[in-house]
Structure 1
Amino acid sequence: MDTTDKNESTTDASSQNPKLRSQEWFGRTGKDGFIYRAWMKNQGFPHHLFTGEKPVIGICNTWSELTPCNAHFRELAEAVKRGIWEAGGFPLEFPVMSLGECQIKPTAMLFRNLASMDVEESLRANSLDGVVLMCGCDKTTPSLIMGACSVDIPSIVLSGGPMLAGRYQGRKIGTSDLWRFAEDFKTGAMSQEEFVTAEACMARSQGHCAVMGTASTMAAMAESLGLALPDNATIPAADSRRKVMAHMAGMQIVEMVRKDLKPSDILTREAFENAIMVNAALGGSTNFIIHLLAIAGRIGVDLSIDDFDRLSANIPLLANLQPSGEHFVEDLFYAGGLPAIIRELRGVLHNEAITANGKTIGQNCEKAACYDREVIASVDEPFKPESGIAVLKGNLCPNGAVLKPSAATPALMKHTGRAVVFENIDDYKARIDDPDLDVDPTCVLVLKNVGPKGYPGMPEVGNMTLPKKILAQGVHDMVRISDGRMSGTGFGTVVLHVSPESAVGGNLALVQNGDLITLDVEQRLLHLHVSDQDLAARLVHFKPIDLGYNRGYVGMYIRHVTQAHEGADLDFLKGSSGSVVKRDSH
């Protein structure tokens, strides 16, 4: 059988479509073209796929059995391929580092920047004209977007979708219930057997967390930024329409390549502002800040932590979703999805911002409807008047700290209490349930050394479980402060991302037991009642902790990671290196 074209040996395919980046590989004549094409053909690809008639589309797949949220991506990728083929593209699937939030120790956040480097270098080094970014679990979305921004070839995000809400003892449950179960288990209200039963009931389908945690927040971020198709954020993973979305994303990326629609065209300042306002209306995760700042740093948009407070200050909470409300992300989809939320906000959004399908965000949502006001409230009658993420300043956090008002206790939003200090996570675990711990419900729990450098990767330990003896009193919230993060599924009056962190000598490191701390969310204030002179005297005795990492990626991370208010990216990854391969060995 003759599997070659008659003019295979003489045609310079790059001349047929000089705009296709892949022709820098496959369109060459002589030895170089032979090398690039020959080994690809061992997969059964015919020669005409390499002639520049079809754009080469990468499918960046974070499938892994170690990332349960993304474990259905093999099947989803097949739907993407069907869409690419139908639209006249040539799909090539490849793996990158997958970050499973519930498996990786000490935290997936430690490896977000590493995964972004994997994506960046994979895209730049290979013969791709465009890419579908398949992401689901928390850190896979920002890492893939960050990597794609640094290369800036046409890119579209395909999320894996939320899992179906769990069912336990006749009621719906989701990841946010884990924290409630943990408290009940701690006080003896829930047995180990009941705990095991509940865990089998919660994650009952494929997909990421069923609540508006970080995973769904990231999916909503991608859609509101314009990097994904409408409804991408909310279609449940188990719904057949998720495969339809995958098919359509595959078709659309081919069109984006033909129009040369790149992340830099979509990710304007206006797009970032839209994402911040939409996140506020959703009651999205506090992790949204740290990831959006990192993405902005890669694409070159000037974004600061203060923008989040300013832009979300007058946006009410519209979505009645856990952890800020009652329902689940699948309910949001049935009620109208993210387009219905965006349409409610059309009076404040930049409606002319372009999106991945070539339409503006306003055009995408002009016909969106709400089918359940219990789940999606209107701007005139919001679910809660306060939303978004409050950015606090004060002598305890000169560069900022964050709090999620919609998930906090109103009575604690203005509070002064004495500090109960834990020097690190091990100290906290050792003493939090000590009957002799000097703590009462009015105290402020302070956890140090869990920031980007201090506990490399800044783990989600900021929503500290309360002391057992406090829970026994029927108290379920206290003011908690740390330089760490918390899961987007968490809730409570929790101050996070204190910057500078304690490990680098920030004032959080100087807090002592008994110090008075004032939290005033309305005034955006976090104040330590210790004079500047006394703080300076304490700083003299400050000694950085020995982290014990001198080599490898973690050593590099500690040396180069920026602070939380800068996105906790590696300092040398800011900006873009573009898509050009600087050297060619062939």
Structure 2
Amino acid sequence: MTKKPEDLRSHRWFGVETMRSANHRSRLMQLGFGQPEFRGKPVIGIINTWSDLMHCHGHFRERAQDVKRGVWQAGGVPMEIPAMALPEVFQKPSTMLYRNFLAMETEEIARSLPLDGLVLMGGCDKTGPALIMGAISMGIPAIYVPAGPMLRGNWRGKKLGSGSDVWKYYSELRAGTIKQSDWNEMEAGLSRSAGTCMTAGTASTMAIAAEALGLTLPGAASIPAVDSAHPRMAAAAGSRIVGMVWEDLTVTKLLDQRSLDNAVAATMAFGGSTNAIPHLIAIARRAGIAMDLERFDAISARVPLIANLRPNGDTHLMEDFFYAGGSRGFLATLAPHLALDAVTVNGTLGAQIEGAEVYDRDVIRGLDHPFYPEGGVAILRGSLAPDGAVIKHSAASPEKLRHTGPAVVFEDYNDLDARLDDPNLNVTADSVLVLRQAGPQGGPGFPEWGMMPIPKKLLAQGVRDMVRVSDARMSGTSYGTCVLHVAPEAALGGPLALVRDGDMISLDVPGRRIDLLVDEAELAARRAAWTPRVAPQQRGWTALYQRSVGQADTGCDLDFLERGEATPEPEIH
């Protein structure tokens, strides 16, 4: 053991003979603990993001008990602590508004309480990044337990993927090709168990990224939420964190340039969510590691997409991925593109994937037969996005990847909702739909509005994809030719704020360009006439967020959280 009992943080609360420590011990005894249970043993905080409205984490009450069992077995003392849940579909205007809130809560829980290590229980899109960001800033040992994907959906013998098939069939409902009764029946078969989206959406993307970062046990990222392997993994994580405390294996000792590059490579090869980009940049910046959009694009250019999953593919879902070999088989296939000597919670990454096999090469492709020749996400720059934009080109229409068309501009989401289906809207299949006021400041909170619906009159003509450009995000389960995260955003007066109906916009994904084809003198005149909107919130968390949040290309963290030294440990008197 590297540490001795007197080196534990919790020793300062429980192990010394002072009046305050006696009071601390008596309060634990008030909770039913005996002194031998907590003196000289690591106290493990289990940060649980369960709530009655957290659909993805419906099993977390049980899983917390599994984690506790593992902690007790390894000689630690488990303490379950609730933290803010971020339910993706329920929380408005966006869970991204609250990612940094949960990160700060995690950091402050760990700093202010007698905890020696953390088990981070997350999964639904923003919870994992938030928990990891907070653990980095706190600087004590931590291990991540991902929620796991739900079972695949089913409707009339067809596999259903959460999110992806909602967009697909809602377009068909609006187009009149299916009836409301069909839609209602499909809706009932879509989400069949606890767990995160079973497509290659943000939740599974970030779970894969966390495993590649070295923050989970081997294979943890892909275990379905209701599979019996999941409680076994949770218990093993509870046992392992106790060992990590004695070894003083903190998160900052696990993360370096190798592990961040591994996470980016895994994300690109997974064909994962565009949301991973601001999350991984924020994680890197918390850890003091270089990570920018250019690094993403460089890694994407050399790493092929090998996971044949929706929304990139047409058939397979995360349950199929698990049976095909799961995250260990996937990372083992990707091994030539990974730094295998990177340190993890359980040895090196190479040791974690040693001996892993793949049982279905249609689901997890080989490097010599990838699903797509490069990573699933590309970084764009140009006069419309001088600080960058992203596109998930693996889930876009190939014929749209080079396109020039006239803009149809929506001032904000309410404007989009009011006018999109107007029969008199001046729009064709060649138009470029533009949405602004949907970035970190403009949303506020960077909502997932980037996969704008196709106008109803075009759906009736058979159109199912268009070029769409916004400063918004989109769900990792979404698809289509959607240019996202345009920076600077419109709310700050970026070029997106200056676009007018009829302006020509040029998209060139192979050339990594997105340009507004308007004369610079005209843009200068528009810029001089532009005035910002008044921030909608003047109090509370949203006001603090809008004063302090960064742009998409820098990770959307709060400026006072991403920089500077950690807050000193509390003094015990």
Q: TM-score, normalised by structure 1?
A: 0.95
- Deviates further, 339-348 or 60-69: 339-348
SS of the residue 2:361 aligns to: coil
In the TM superposition, residue 577 of structure 1 has moved relative to its aligned partner by 4.7
Residues 143-154 of structure 1 aligned to structure 2 (within 5 Å): 143-154=130-141
Residues 522-541 of structure 1 aligned to structure 2 (within 5 Å): 522-541=510-529
SS of the residue 1:39 aligns to: helix
- Distance in 2, matches of 1:536 and 1:571, equals 30
SS of the residue 1:548 aligns to: coil
Q: For the Cα contact (< 8 Å) 1:313–1:388, is it kept in 2?
A: no
Q: For the Cα contact (< 8 Å) 2:12–2:21, is it kept in 1?
A: no
Q: For the Cα contact (< 8 Å) 2:112–2:570, is it kept in 1?
A: no
Q: For the Cα contact (< 8 Å) 1:224–1:274, is it kept in 2?
A: yes
Alignment equivalent of 1:285, drawn from 273, 277, 288: 273
Q: For the Cα contact (< 8 Å) 2:99–2:130, is it kept in 1?
A: yes
- Distance in 1, matches of 2:324 and 2:113, equals 41
- Distance in 1, matches of 2:125 and 2:564, equals 23
Matched, 1:58 2:45: yes
- Distance in 2, matches of 1:301 and 1:311, equals 16
Alignment equivalent of 1:94, drawn from 81, 84, 93: 81
AA of the residue aligned to 1:573: L
SS of the residue 1:459 aligns to: coil
Specify the alignment match of 2:293 in structure 1: 305
User: What is the CA deviation profile of residues 534-585 of structure 1, one whole-angstrom value per residue up to 9, with x for unaligned ones?
Assistant: 111100111111232111110111111100001111111014654742444x
Q: For the Cα contact (< 8 Å) 1:101–1:137, is it kept in 2?
A: yes
Residues 182-581 of structure 1 aligned to structure 2 (within 5 Å): 182-325=170-313, 326-357=315-346, 359-575=347-563, 577-578=565-566, 580-581=568-569
- Distance in 2, matches of 1:474 and 1:298, equals 46
- Distance in 1, matches of 2:71 and 2:433, equals 52
SS of the residue 2:25 aligns to: helix
- Distance in 2, matches of 1:532 and 1:48, equals 74
- Distance in 1, matches of 2:189 and 2:176, equals 20
Residues 118-137 of structure 1 aligned to structure 2 (within 5 Å): 118-137=105-124
- Distance in 2, matches of 1:345 and 1:303, equals 21
Specify the alignment match of 2:22 in structure 1: 34
- Distance in 2, matches of 1:530 and 1:450, equals 23
Structure 2: tracts of 5 or more residues without a match: none
In the TM superposition, residue 368 of structure 1 has moved relative to its aligned partner by 0.7
User: What is the CA deviation profile of residues 26-80 of structure 1, one whole-angstrom value per residue up to 9, with x for unaligned ones?
Assistant: 112121111211111112111012321x211110000111111012100011111
Alignment equivalent of 2:98, drawn from 111, 133, 138: 111
- Distance in 2, matches of 1:22 and 1:575, equals 27
In the TM superposition, residue 159 of structure 1 has moved relative to its aligned partner by 0.7
AA of the residue aligned to 1:239: D
User: What is the CA deviation profile of residues 316-369 of structure 1, one whole-angstrom value per residue up to 9, with x for unaligned ones?
Assistant: 110010010121111111100111111112112111001011x11112112110
- Deviates further, 455-464 or 27-36: 27-36
Q: For the Cα contact (< 8 Å) 1:452–1:458, is it kept in 2?
A: yes
- Distance in 2, matches of 1:82 and 1:433, equals 55
Specify the alignment match of 1:76 in structure 2: 63
Q: For the Cα contact (< 8 Å) 1:320–1:327, is it kept in 2?
A: yes
Aligned length: 569
- Distance in 2, matches of 1:315 and 1:409, equals 21
Alignment equivalent of 1:161, drawn from 148, 165, 171: 148
- Deviates further, 149-158 or 545-554: 545-554
Matched, 1:19 2:7: yes
User: What is the CA deviation profile of residues 174-230 of structure 1, one whole-angstrom value per residue up to 9, with x for unaligned ones?
Assistant: 111010111012122233332222221111111111111011111111101100011
Aligned-residue Cα RMSD (Å) equals 1.2
Q: For the Cα contact (< 8 Å) 1:150–1:575, is it kept in 2?
A: no
- Distance in 2, matches of 1:16 and 1:150, equals 24
Q: For the Cα contact (< 8 Å) 2:387–2:487, is it kept in 1?
A: yes
AA of the residue aligned to 1:528: L
In the TM superposition, residue 511 of structure 1 has moved relative to its aligned partner by 0.4
Q: For the Cα contact (< 8 Å) 1:386–1:405, is it kept in 2?
A: no
- Distance in 1, matches of 2:76 and 2:94, equals 37
Q: For the Cα contact (< 8 Å) 2:6–2:15, is it kept in 1?
A: no
- Distance in 1, matches of 2:434 and 2:70, equals 51
- Distance in 2, matches of 1:531 and 1:224, equals 45
- Distance in 2, matches of 1:26 and 1:276, equals 42
Q: For the Cα contact (< 8 Å) 1:387–1:404, is it kept in 2?
A: no
- Distance in 2, matches of 1:68 and 1:346, equals 34
Q: 1:279 to 1:328 in 2, by over 3 A?
A: same
Q: For the Cα contact (< 8 Å) 1:503–1:545, is it kept in 2?
A: yes
AA of the residue aligned to 1:59: I
AA of the residue aligned to 1:411: E
- Distance in 2, matches of 1:446 and 1:85, equals 55
AA of the residue aligned to 1:503: A
In the TM superposition, residue 16 of structure 1 has moved relative to its aligned partner by 6.0
- Distance in 1, matches of 2:235 and 2:563, equals 32
Identity of aligned residues (%): 50
AA of the residue aligned to 2:321: L
In the TM superposition, residue 296 of structure 1 has moved relative to its aligned partner by 1.1
In the TM superposition, residue 289 of structure 1 has moved relative to its aligned partner by 0.3
- Distance in 1, matches of 2:310 and 2:4, equals 53
Q: For the Cα contact (< 8 Å) 2:379–2:390, is it kept in 1?
A: yes
- Distance in 2, matches of 1:580 and 1:192, equals 58
SS of the residue 1:399 aligns to: strand
AA of the residue aligned to 1:121: E
- Distance in 2, matches of 1:271 and 1:514, equals 45
- Distance in 1, matches of 2:33 and 2:515, equals 65
Q: For the Cα contact (< 8 Å) 1:59–1:77, is it kept in 2?
A: yes
Q: For the Cα contact (< 8 Å) 1:299–1:575, is it kept in 2?
A: no
- Distance in 1, matches of 2:437 and 2:48, equals 34
SS of the residue 2:486 aligns to: strand
- Distance in 1, matches of 2:376 and 2:281, equals 16
Q: 1:579 to 1:252 in 2, by over 3 A?
A: farther
SS of the residue 1:473 aligns to: coil
In the TM superposition, residue 279 of structure 1 has moved relative to its aligned partner by 0.7
Q: For the Cα contact (< 8 Å) 1:163–1:209, is it kept in 2?
A: yes
- Distance in 1, matches of 2:519 and 2:334, equals 44
AA of the residue aligned to 2:135: A
